[in-house]
């Protein structure tokens, strides 16, 4: 049996040594399948969640919706779960602090907060405001009295708003502000990821998506990455296959070839039945 407190301790310990993958389910079924196939922890995906509601990514999910969804993922398996909470659902430092507090209240073992606004263009917050937001979130996490991995993201490289040098300047300040984990999604090269790892003493999360799909977990581990997430990548792979198979069936081709590469119902049933939450 894995109690909720044991989940929090396990999640904290996973960040202390080695390199692990935290896949991102988008519903209860995908969470169970990931747990049945070797996942040791899970992270929500804001984009994947939005897709399940028929909405586009970025700023279309409310905080209450995200927290309720996170509770569903948490209840699905015995694994620790961390929340992808975009910009913390507000621009001000107190918004971030409140999101951290509420994330802990629903039983999450951590959460991540970005340094970009949900307004058009995902503009990066000023350096000063970005740091104050992380300082507020970290202070809220430290007041919990139990393990909670607060991840500070510098998303400006991925969004085209600043370069790797600025990302490093930000995560160094985020580290000083009290963040437990630091994350710069999709810098230009793996060498840049290595430079990011070397620039701070706290653990680094890397995103295995886009050009980074060609690397293996060992490649990330070799340069000191502690945690690897996939964001919405697997959700998008699933939606790609749904769209492709449906267009073949319902389009001019009238072909059912898109259904060829599928698991059997018995296989899926067995995997789902093998995972029981003891939350």
Average pLDDT over residues 211-235: 97
Domains of the chain: residue spans and CATH: 4-235 (3.20.20.60)
Task: Please provide the average confidence, as pLDDT, over all residues in the chain.
Answer: 95
Task: Give the count of beta carbons closer than 10 Å to the beta carbon of residue 166.
Answer: 16
Map residue 87 onto helix, strand or coil. coil
Question: Using an 8 Å Cβ cutoff, are 47 and 37 in contact?
Answer: no
Average pLDDT over residues 250-270: 92
Question: Using an 8 Å Cβ cutoff, are 11 and 147 in contact?
Answer: yes
Half-sphere exposure for 165 (CA within 13 Å, toward CB):
0
Task: Give the count of beta carbons closer than 10 Å to the beta carbon of residue 72.
Answer: 15
- 135 pLDDT band (50/70/90 cuts)? very high
DSSP 8-state assignment for residue 123 = P
Is the pLDDT at 141 greater than 70, yes or no? yes
pLDDT of residue 106: 98
- 56 pLDDT band (50/70/90 cuts)? confident
pLDDT of residue 261: 87
pLDDT of residue 250: 97
Rounded CA Rg of the chain: 19
Distance CA 11, CA 80 (A): 6
Which residue's entry shows tokens 């000063």? Answer: 128
pLDDT of residue 194: 98
Is the pLDDT at 245 greater than 70, yes or no? yes
Average pLDDT over residues 143-165: 97
């Amino acid at each position: 049996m894995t109690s909720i407190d044991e989940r929090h301790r396990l999640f904290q310990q996973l960040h202390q040594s080695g390199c692990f993958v935290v896949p991102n389910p988008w519903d209860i079924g995908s969470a169970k399948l990931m747990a049945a196939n070797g996942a040791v922890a899970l992270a929500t995906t804001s984009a994947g969640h939005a897709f399940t509601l028929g909405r586009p990514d970025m700023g279309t999910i409310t905080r209450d919706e995200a927290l309720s969804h996170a509770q569903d993922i948490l209840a699905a398996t015995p694994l620790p779960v961390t929340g992808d909470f975009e910009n913390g659902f507000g621009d001000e430092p107190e918004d971030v602090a409140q999101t951290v507090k509420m994330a802990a209240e629903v039983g999450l073992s951590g959460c991540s907060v970005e340094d970009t606004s949900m307004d058009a263009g995902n503009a990066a917050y000023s350096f000063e405001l970005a740091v104050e937001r992380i300082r507020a979130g970290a202070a809220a996490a430290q007041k919990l009295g139990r393990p909670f991995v607060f991840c500070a993201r510098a998303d400006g490289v991925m969004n085209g708003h600043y370069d790797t040098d600025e990302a490093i300047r930000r995560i160094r300040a985020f580290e000083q502000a009290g963040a437990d984990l630091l994350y710069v999604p999709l810098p230009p090269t793996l060498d840049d990821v290595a430079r990011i790892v070397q620039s701070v003493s706290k653990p680094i999360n890397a995103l295995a998506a886009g050009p980074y799909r060609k690397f293996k977990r060992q490649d990330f581990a070799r340069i000191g990455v502690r945690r690897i997430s996939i964001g919405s990548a697997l959700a998008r792979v699933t939606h790609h296959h749904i769209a492709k198979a449906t267009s073949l069936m319902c389009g001019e081709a009238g072909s059912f070839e898109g259904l060829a590469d599928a698991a059997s119902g018995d296989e899926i049933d067995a995997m789902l039945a093998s995972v029981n939450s003891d939350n």
